[in-house]
Structure 1
């Protein structure tokens, strides 16, 4: 499957990413002495997210747009799944590559469904297949099809518009997705949620994603690899986030990393990597008396009410249940959520925003999976420091006797906490 054959795809057989190679790619504009992009060479591995990060005007967006020939290269070669992009009809090439931009770029006169259906319609899918794909894509990005398919972009929030934009970019199941600062125009909280959504989607779909941003923290969170670019898209460093944080190639890269590299380590680990806590839960149509007894039996001051799809709705305490005859509408709304795809940095920010000892963690479809606590993060940082100290000691021993030491064993994130909503207990 190549970037130009999306019409062979079925919704039950998702297309995975393909390798992209840039070989001495140059872009010169008439009348300019210097090239906008001066000879970029890099390999973007199949199925990975590669983030271009650099200052405004450095050429990162121009470089990305040459991949789908929205901007034609002056010289050099770009191959997608081994095929020369210049040998493919530009329209056919673009229909086989997803493209998501800032502020979504939706057609304002078309409904959400028709926006998402744009590329499948262009490549000749029949109406039944398109309708099924639209609903599948909306559900995939966390928008209920029955609620949103007939709305217009002006009836959506900024975050919802961006989700529709991603759904449209993925609708024909392309192997490659280009994303040009797609979350740059939304507020920080929505931006974090959209980033989590992209991580979740990528874990399911395995596309090759080229993502442009000027935000290094976003690059660290999303990228399997980061290309730090200077003027004319000169590659200053191209490596994993861990390697760049640990060893910036020069002062310019170090400037992007900033002075809080150790804190950025929180961005390199996900909530799924630590042991979660648990609290009593019940669905909204459950028994008040049964839930009251569950809280009392486990000596918990808080529990969670979930909807019929096990998504968290409200925190409930015994006091809330004193005169309650139903669990509907009872309790305090859950305001801050993180997902299993969220970083530990996201979790810390959520905990600080709520001034709480615990924050709810949701799974891939928004379902409740547990709680993360301040103790979780404190334990993780402690274990990380112990691991690094152990590694340094072994390195010192290697220097002294010339023998290889064994790798240090990281802490498993086990922890206990008993504060804040939920009075959490360790997950089994």
Structure 2
């Protein structure tokens, strides 16, 4: 559903200055639009007016061609998913009960609710049998966020609002959750409004970015590529910073470059057959084709079962990860490649340091004469570090 804000403002009682002043924008159907701006800029207030958690003082908001003010507030909120920081889960409810909240309000039958809860837990990478009956306090921060996203998607809403949903987790978990969201979006194609203060996150996730200043005044509303290439003013340039050249890697996805293959086997497969197919190293998969360990031929000598061998996987990326993510994953452990997963965490292949180096060189050659997207610090682009990683004896 397309969302249109037409001259929307919000002034709180007793205040002369509006918190949001005259915002007009169109959020295309099926895209992720990211609101980015400093604290206090009104970006969350603007987003909450879409589902009427905050009522606008003036202006109109239409969702799928319908005036939001003409829709019963409860009906409207039940048709819009809402995910917030730290999941916002009810502590006295189990994971399954949390996800089932809106379907129960919509009076779905029990079997339909159970099937939907299990489907969503699988969708966000949590085993229903293992996690369904846990309480939020028994989950890690990243797991809570996954459940929060699952709950927001429970009734299959066409619109999803996300208010800094990954802001309270560590950087590694945050990157994984961002990748999960991109993978989900490739399948579901929801209209998503995402609020953040992190411009790198906005570049990674957004089909379009709205850079907001005070009172949510729009400084620039465009694609990440256009904003990186041509910041509209000093405020936007401040968000872009000095790393515009490096941020070009955030505009390309792992799926956009060559993904190589390594031999794979399940734990019940033949040791001899697996060893015969390995030249350098191979990947051991679980029953759902998710990578769990890696091994080489020396590990397989004299063992009776694949279940007895292998080393834990290091950092992995998804097909929705950026090339920046892939570069960091490889350099973090000084490996020559990193494993790539797809929907439901299934093995897709590997991306190698050679592929990244070739891509980095191409990007630099393409942009070296374009001052709009190259910067004085671009000589510190980490190609040299990337090349040095190929000398590592690991993997």
TM-score by length of 1: 0.85
**Larger CA deviation: 376-385 vs 71-80:** 376-385
- Is 1:376 the equivalent of 2:364? no
Pick aligned residue for 2:121 from 138, 152, 157: 138
Pick aligned residue for 2:243 from 260, 264, 268: 260
- 1:148-167 matches, cutoff 5 A: 148-167=131-150
**In structure 1, how many angstroms separate the alpha carbons of the residues matched to 2:198 and 2:365?**
30
- Is 1:244 the equivalent of 2:227? yes
- Is 1:116 the equivalent of 2:99? yes
- 1:105-254 matches, cutoff 5 A: 105-254=88-237
How far apart are residue 162 of structure 1 and its match? Answer: 0.5
Partner of 1:341: 320
- 1:226-375 matches, cutoff 5 A: 226-295=209-278, 300-375=279-354
The answer on whether the counterparts of 2:265 and 2:274 sit within 8 Å (CA) in structure 1 is yes
Pick aligned residue for 2:53 from 70, 83, 88: 70
How far apart are residue 357 of structure 1 and its match? Answer: 1.0
SS of 2:181's equivalent? helix
Partner of 1:426: none
Partner of 1:413: none
How far apart are residue 418 of structure 1 and its match? Answer: 9.3
The answer on whether the counterparts of 1:358 and 1:420 sit within 8 Å (CA) in structure 2 is no
The answer on whether the counterparts of 1:50 and 1:224 sit within 8 Å (CA) in structure 2 is yes
The answer on whether the counterparts of 1:358 and 1:419 sit within 8 Å (CA) in structure 2 is no
The answer on whether the counterparts of 2:212 and 2:218 sit within 8 Å (CA) in structure 1 is yes
**In structure 2, how many angstroms separate the alpha carbons of the residues matched to 1:193 and 1:88?**
36
How far apart are residue 331 of structure 1 and its match? Answer: 1.6
- Is 1:29 the equivalent of 2:12? yes
How far apart are residue 114 of structure 1 and its match? Answer: 0.7
Q: Give per-residue Cα distances to partners, 1:145-187, cap 9 Å, x unaligned.
A: 1111111111111111101100000000111000000000001
The answer on whether the counterparts of 2:23 and 2:216 sit within 8 Å (CA) in structure 1 is yes
Which runs of 5 or more residues in structure 1 are unaligned? 1-17, 393-416, 423-428
**Larger CA deviation: 24-33 vs 41-50:** 24-33
How far apart are residue 33 of structure 1 and its match? Answer: 2.2
**In structure 2, how many angstroms separate the alpha carbons of the residues matched to 1:301 and 1:376?**
17
**In structure 2, how many angstroms separate the alpha carbons of the residues matched to 1:75 and 1:190?**
39
Which runs of 5 or more residues in structure 2 are unaligned? 372-389
The answer on whether the counterparts of 1:303 and 1:421 sit within 8 Å (CA) in structure 2 is no
Task: Report how many aligned residue pairs link the two structures.
Answer: 377
How far apart are residue 421 of structure 1 and its match? Answer: 4.8
TM-score by length of 2: 0.92
Runs of 4+ in 1 over 3 A off after TM superposition: 385-392, 417-422
Higher Rg of the two aligned structures? 1
**In structure 2, how many angstroms separate the alpha carbons of the residues matched to 1:142 and 1:65?**
28
**In structure 2, how many angstroms separate the alpha carbons of the residues matched to 1:288 and 1:58?**
59
How far apart are residue 390 of structure 1 and its match? Answer: 9.5
Q: Give per-residue Cα distances to partners, 1:101-143, cap 9 Å, x unaligned.
A: 0000000101111100000110111111111111111111111
The answer on whether the counterparts of 1:67 and 1:78 sit within 8 Å (CA) in structure 2 is yes
How far apart are residue 287 of structure 1 and its match? Answer: 1.5
- Is 1:46 the equivalent of 2:29? yes
SS of 1:278's equivalent? coil
How far apart are residue 323 of structure 1 and its match? Answer: 2.8
